[in-house]
Amino acid sequence: MTTWLPIPADSDFSIYNLPFGIIETPSGRMGAGVPIGDYVIDLVAAADAGLFGARRRHVQLFEQPTLNNFIALGNDFAKRIRRRLQQWLCESKLPKNSTDILYERSQVRVHLPIQVGDYTDFYSSLEHATNVGKMFRPDNPLLPNWRWLPIGYHGRASSIVLDGTPIRRPCGQILPKGSETPIFAATQQLDFELEIAFVIGKESRLGHPIPIEQAEEHIFGLLLFNDWSARDIQRWEYVPLGPFLGKNFASSISPWIVTLEALKPFRTRGPVQRPTPLEYLRLRGWHHYDIALEVSIRPKDGPETVVCRTNTRYLYWSMAQQLAHHTINGCNVRPGDLMASGTISGPTSDSFGSLLELAWGGQKPISLADGSTRTFLLDGDTVIMRAYAQRGHLRVGFGQVCGTILPAIKGD
């Protein structure tokens, strides 16, 4: 596809991508937007210019503070909007209405793209589960259920924040090494978790599991997700009911939802699953995605260092398996629900998706470009996650999700 709009070759937001988000225009109007190169398409203005037909209906749909109503119309509707935008971008000459519809991206503010209903976090990377297991339970790293079902827990939607939101170092109960009584203190083991999350676009009915063959019809698209974690708080509280305050103080998401349609060319084979999963988790074909991921740390006033490079194709359980499992008991899902993959670690020590693993529980500090080392995050550190899929000239990226650590405010 050739467009009249100049798009840098390495842009995450190529004409093949066209993800959706929420923008605030210079005049202060909130509504849906689509990034393209260094620009963003204002879907409210595009609808008002008659790009999608039925002018008033589309303006009403897009002039909203979240994408929830839009994504609830289903993936076929979003596909039609993307195709119409591609057509418009490929018109043989600059369309007359282009200046009313396009903004430079630096001119608009982005907002949370969805109102998140429920949020679930999975634990679907075999390498991550094994690494963490080795540290937390050296004699029994991978529990027997792990290879039979996508482990997950219900998280907290209220603390999901947008890219760029500062993250306050949390305080909590921590059991000092060798002690039998906990103290109340700021976490000394603040960590990131590199994850991809999917957004539910189609409702399911309570009591009606989503068959695995239909799971992807319920997924609108994907986001980058940083599941900030306080390891010392987590270690003391997680038995017997799982993650709680060590996790729910903040999770950051990237602003643009990349559709499954845009990611279709990057489908890939997943890892061989042994033992063979139960029938309701079996699906033929390729349902994993080849998306390159990286994490950087930028200290206050220092340069950025890439500390991890990995790929979503390493995930053991696919999104379809996660969703089929999530609903097999009849649990229903709603548009705007968010489900994260769990930390994505690869097979090599530079492909681990958390500092816990990269610095091996504090035993192997990692070096940064400014000469400092890290076992966990320091105040003033900025964590930046990026993701993109690329094949030849075809590039579909996620942009980034970042957050800077602020010092704790202690209650005492």
Active site positions, annotated: 128
User: In the complex with Ca ion, which residue's Cβ is closer, 225 or 289?
Assistant: 225
- Residue 366's contacts (CB-CB under 8 Å, 6 or more residues apart) are 307, 355, 358, 359, 373, 374, 375
Segment contacting Ca ion by CB under 5 A, of 117-125, 167-175, 182-190, 282-290 = 117-125
Segment contacting Ca ion by CB under 5 A, of 45-53, 114-122, 142-150, 266-274 = 114-122
Q: In the complex, what is the shortest distance from the CB of residue 390 to Ca ion, in angstroms, rounded to a whole number?
A: 26
Stated as kind and residue range, the H or E segment containing 241 is none
Q: In the complex, what is the shortest distance from the CB of residue 236 to Ca ion, in angstroms, rounded to a whole number?
A: 17
User: In the complex with Ca ion, which residue's Cβ is closer, 12 or 121?
Assistant: 121
Q: In the complex, what is the shortest distance from the CB of residue 247 to Ca ion, in angstroms, rounded to a whole number?
A: 7
- Residue 240's contacts (CB-CB under 8 Å, 6 or more residues apart) are none
Q: In the complex, what is the shortest distance from the CB of residue 343 to Ca ion, in angstroms, rounded to a whole number?
A: 5
User: In the complex with Ca ion, which residue's Cβ is closer, 193 or 381?
Assistant: 193
Q: In the complex, what is the shortest distance from the CB of residue 298 to Ca ion, in angstroms, rounded to a whole number?
A: 22
The two three-digit tokens of residue 62, written as one number:
């897009």
DSSP 338-400: EEE------SSGGG-SBHHHHTGGGTSPEE-TTS-EESSPPTT-EEEEEEEEEETTEEEEEEE
Ramachandran quadrant class, 356 (left: phi over 0; alpha: psi -120 to 50; beta: rest): alpha
User: In the complex with Ca ion, which residue's Cβ is closer, 231 or 313?
Assistant: 231
User: In the complex with Ca ion, which residue's Cβ is closer, 86 or 159?
Assistant: 159
Tell me the site size for Ca ion, rule CB under 5 A: 3
- Tell me the longest C-alpha to C-alpha distance in the chain: 73
Measured CA to CA, the distance from residue 211 to residue 225 in angstroms comes to 26
Q: In the complex, what is the shortest distance from the CB of residue 341 to Ca ion, in angstroms, rounded to a whole number?
A: 8
- State the first-to-last Cα distance of the chain, in angstroms, to the nearest integer: 60
Segment contacting Ca ion by CB under 5 A, of 60-68, 92-100, 120-128, 282-290 = 120-128
Position 357 contacts Ca ion (CB under 5 A): no
Residue nearest to Ca ion (CB): 227
User: In the complex with Ca ion, which residue's Cβ is closer, 128 or 202?
Assistant: 128
> Residues of 285-314 as b/e, b for ≥16 C-beta within 10 angstroms?
eebbbbbbbbbbbbbeebeebebbebbbbb
Segment contacting Ca ion by CB under 5 A, of 80-88, 149-157, 192-200, 316-324 = 192-200
CA atoms 195, 198, 255, 97: torsion sign: positive
Q: Which residue's entry shows tokens 């909007």?
A: 81
Position 227 contacts Ca ion (CB under 5 A): yes
Position 193 contacts Ca ion (CB under 5 A): yes
Q: Which residues bind Ca ion (CB under 5 A)?
A: 121, 193, 227
